[in-house]
Structure formats: C-alpha cells, structure tokens
Amino acid sequence: MKTLMLATLSAAALMAAQPLAAKTLIYCSEGSPENFAPSVNTTGTSFDANTQIYDTLVQFERGGTKVVPALAEKWDISADGLVYTFNLRKGVKWHNTRAFKPTRDFNADDFIFMIDRQWKESDPYYKVTSSNHSYFNDMGMPKLLKSVEKIDDYTIRITLNRPEAPFLSDLAMQYASIQSKEYADAMLKAGTPEKIDQDPIGTGPFSLVQYQKDAIIRYKAHPDYWAGKAKIDDLIFAITPDASVRWAKLQKGECHVMPYPNPADLDAMKKDANVQILEQPGLNIGYLAYNTAKKPFDDVKVRHAVNMAINKKAIIDAVYLSSGIAAINPIPPSMWSYNETVKDDPFDPEASKKMLAEAGYPNGMEIDLWAMPVQRPYNPNAKRIAELMQADLAKVGIKAEIKTFEWGEYRKRLQAGEHQTGMFGWTGDNGDPDNFLHTLLGCDASKNNGGNVAKFCYQPFEDLVQKAKSISDTAQRTELYRQAQVIFKEQSPWFTIAHAVQLKPIRKEVKDFKLSPFSRHVFYGVDITN
C-alpha cells in the first residue's frame, strides 16, 4: 500500500498534530494485520484492524454474544430452519476515500459478492489475495449453502441444505464482513483486483487513512456511518509487538488502550492511578496440537504419554501467573455445554514412561515442538512454555527440538501439517460450542490449510458435533457436546494448556470501552476525555 509522508511520524506526534477539537484514541496493537481481506484473515490481530472498516449483515451487541441487526434491519427464519430472508438497511454509505469514490449505497449485490468470493471457484476474486478461505471452509459452508439469492436490491434469501443452529451467529463473524462489489468490479477492470484488500473501503464506523506495516494504522471516523458518527474522530493503531513497550507507552499516555499485558506487569499496573484494568473470563483455549496424521502421534497411547509427561500446573504458575486456569476440555468453563465431569490426564512421568514402552518406544523418541513467536490472548509466552515442556519431556526420554517461524509462516506451515506437535490456540468468534468443537476439531477443518492443526478426523466425534449443529434445542445440543468432550479427552488430539483471563489495561480518560467476549477491540461507541 502506498504510504504517506506521515508514516515516519510516531503515534504520539500524530496525536499532537491533531486539531484541538478532535478526539484521538491510540491503541497499542500487538502486531500488523495479515491484510484487509476479511475472507482470508484468521488472527485476532487482523480482525481488530478489519472490524473498524467493515460491517456484517448482523452483529454481536457490544460486550455480548447476542445477535443484533447491522446491515440487515430484520430477518425471518423458516419453521424448518432452512430458509433465511434478510431485509437490508437502506441508505448505508460506503467510505469515500482516495482509493475509490462510490456512486451507490450498499445493497444486496455486495453481500452476494462476499459469499461468492469464498464459495465459487469461478468467481474472479476467489484467488485474489488468497484462495484459502479458511473460516468459510472450516465451518463447512460450501456444503451447507444451497443457494444465496437476491430477491431485490434490499432483500436476500439464503437456503441451506440442512438446518444449522449457529448459522445466524456465524454471519456475524469477521469472515462475513461485506466489501463493495462496485469497487471490486472497478479494480478488476483496471487490472488491480488486489487493491480492494490493500486500499479497502467498507461501510464501517472508521475509514482507513494510512497503513505502514509494523508501524502504524490510521483511521478516520466515517461521517455518514449508518448508526451515527463515532465519538472519537481519529483512531490510531500504534503497532507495538513488545508487551513491556506497550505498558511503557500506556504509562506515558502515548497510547490509551493496550492488549495482552505481561502477567508479571499486572501488580505495577494495578498501582498506577492513571490506569484501570478491565477483566473477565476469557473465551479461549491455548493448546499443544499433536499431528494425528503423522507418526508417532497417530497412536493415541503416545498422545496420552506426552500428556502425562508435562507438568501443566508448573507451566501455569510460571507463565500465566494469576491470569490463567488449567484447561481440561477444548472449550472454556464459561461456555454452555462445558462438561465438568471430564478428568484431565494426571502429571505422572512414571506412567508416561510405561505407556511409551507399551506404544513401542521403550527408549524414548525424538520429536519437534513448534512454539509461536508472538504473544497471543491465550498464550502469553509460547517460547517459555516450550522450554518447560522440553525439560519435562526429556525426563521421560523424549528429546524435543523447539522450532519457530515468523508468525504468518508459522500459521501457514502448521495448517499445512508440517509439524509433529505445535502450539496454537483459539479465541471464540460467536459464543457457540460449535465454533470450537467443529471449527477446530471437525473433519472439514482437518484438510490441508484448515484450522484443525491436529488433523483430527474421528468419526464418533464428528457424528456428535454434526448432529448438534443440525438441531435447535439447546438441551439436546448440550448433551451431544458433553459427549463429544468425553471422546475428545479419550482421543487427546491436544495437550490442553490453559484458558487465559482477558485483561485489558486502559487509561482513565477512556470512556465506554467494553470488553468483547471474543477478545476483539471495537472502538465504535468509545469516547475519550482530552
């Protein structure tokens, strides 16, 4: 993307340069977005950057999981749960930027473009930026959708091949963010289709002004936003990968909100009169995935042996401190259908050695142990956790070589299945257990480039989560998901590490910032006192 001369200025200098009447909020983000293509993004970092720009058909209420209207004013669902009819909001304006000057408002064509781009290989935008539409595919959308029809400019009808209980919530997720078909057509005609993902326009509360990778993202409030102009005029993402540096900037007032604090800094933060810490249970899971499609982890005995070799409590005490709880199931305890009767594998090195011998490895083995290079909401320090795991495994005769790559490369290689074991994690997108159990552990997502990095496709488990998707009764779904968690633990495709508490240090001058259950950072509705 072309950058402006202002790109060399610091976020603090940019804030000082604003007119006195303008309200500027600086968010010290932890990294650069993958791109501005919602259909191919997979990280919270990218979701944060994109959610300021785009809208979805429906959305989650601020700070909650309830689905409320967005670009669709209202909707109707047929009695059999197969047909969804959406009445679209009229008069919704696109951003008017240097990249493109729209000639029409948002309409049904834009929603259909978003779907077709991910669904139909014949669509000219299917391969633009990336053909790996991970969320769309991992959730089984290609098989779920029967048709998406434009009834008129402001009415859409979606017909499914089978009932899908979480479908409405799925449409509020980031992959379903809506881009302009008019802009896409113009860029295709100009021979520069990738520009819609580099110089994006949306209907969201903020328009993109400037992006310099690893440095800064600048947004301006959309004056014609359908829900009313944002309370802040300018939003700046000061890209600051180091948590200690983010904390230093927050102390100095060089940023107003920061994500993912170092657990060791929390005591100092609590003593700072200019800072408050927002806190709530995290809808997340950090784990070590075993590649069940590769030896030796195609053997469930080996997976259980490794589980018993690792001291989970020591990891949580040393790395998460007071900000994490031990994970047993693949969903967090705050999520409905959590099965509290499931027992974790004990930390028992002697039993681990015995099981390794039974599996044919009396003298141990050599494996790889992939560790993320970045701090994530579910894992504050993957490198340190890998070192602790490595030491534990050595005691049972397993020599683990720690490997890592640049974050984008790490995810790509992990999803391609190059690893034997790899640390990863997840923050929920919609508050539904399906978003964990099917999206992370289902057969649709186990294919190359899918989010199921354990490559776990186990039919008894798959049958339960598929059945749970197809019925609307919460009690019945709960029972199916509880059974699925039992099978998950029996098969152990992951070593479940921890659920991290969501902690958000913000400066006292920030008003009305709400924690998202999905750990997103949404700045519409936020105010600041200068």
- 170 in a domain, yes or no? yes
| Largest CA-CA distance found in the chain, in angstroms, rounded | 72
- 397 in a domain, yes or no? yes
Q: Both 325 and 418 in a single domain? A: yes
What is the reported pLDDT for 322? 82
Q: Both 182 and 290 in a single domain? A: no
CATH no. for residue 191?
A: 3.90.76.10
- Is residue 189 helix, strand or coil? helix
Q: Both 453 and 346 in a single domain? A: yes
- Is residue 334 helix, strand or coil? coil
Q: Both 484 and 353 in a single domain? A: yes
Instruction: Return per-residue pLDDT of the chain as tens, 530 residues.
Output: 433 333 334 444 444 444 456 999 999 999 999 899 999 998 999 999 999 999 999 999 999 999 999 999 999 999 999 999 999 999 999 999 887 999 999 999 999 999 999 999 999 999 999 999 999 999 999 999 999 999 999 999 999 999 999 999 999 999 999 999 999 999 999 999 999 999 999 999 999 999 999 999 999 999 999 999 999 999 999 999 999 999 999 999 999 999 999 998 999 999 999 999 999 999 999 999 999 999 999 999 999 999 999 999 999 999 998 889 999 999 999 999 999 999 999 999 999 999 999 999 999 999 999 999 999 999 999 999 999 999 999 999 999 999 999 998 999 999 999 999 999 999 999 999 999 999 999 999 998 788 999 999 999 999 999 999 999 999 999 999 999 999 999 999 999 999 999 999 999 999 999 999 999 999 999 999 97
Q: Which of 148, 173, 205 is the last residue of a domain?
A: 205
Identity at 391, one-letter amino acid code: A
- CB distance 174 to 428 below 8 Å: no
Q: Given the structure tokens 């000057």, which residue do they identify?
A: 101
Q: Both 302 and 196 in a single domain? A: no
- 11 in a domain, yes or no? no
Q: Which two tokens stand for residue 98?
A: 């240097």
- CB distance 94 to 208 below 8 Å: no
> Which helix or strand (DSSP H or E) is residue 156 part of?
strand 155-160
- Is residue 413 helix, strand or coil? helix
Q: Both 293 and 152 in a single domain? A: no
- 462 in a domain, yes or no? yes
What is the reported pLDDT for 320? 94
CATH no. for residue 312?
A: 3.10.105.10
In 10 A of CB 130, how many CB atoms? Answer: 17
Q: Both 184 and 300 in a single domain? A: no
Please count the CA atoms within 13 angstroms of the CA of 315 that sit on its side-chain side.
32
Please count the CA atoms within 13 angstroms of the CA of 200 that sit on its side-chain side.
27
CA distance 402 to 380: 17
- 103 in a domain, yes or no? yes
Q: Which of 205, 233, 262 is the last residue of a domain?
A: 205
Q: Which of 180, 205, 230 is the last residue of a domain?
A: 205
- 15 in a domain, yes or no? no
Q: Both 305 and 449 in a single domain? A: yes
What is the reported pLDDT for 20? 52
Q: Both 169 and 293 in a single domain? A: no
CA distance 19 to 9: 16
What is the reported pLDDT for 11? 47
- 369 in a domain, yes or no? yes
What is the reported pLDDT for 21? 67
Tell me the residue range of the domain where 423 lies. Answer: 284-501
What is the reported pLDDT for 448? 73
CA distance 518 to 515: 8
CA distance 261 to 243: 6
- CB distance 268 to 287 below 8 Å: no
Q: Both 185 and 93 in a single domain? A: yes
311 phi and psi angles, rounded to 5 deg: -85, 95
Q: Both 180 and 292 in a single domain? A: no
- 516 in a domain, yes or no? no
CA distance 291 to 303: 10
Q: Both 390 and 490 in a single domain? A: yes
CA distance 113 to 502: 35
Give the chain's domain count.
Answer: 2
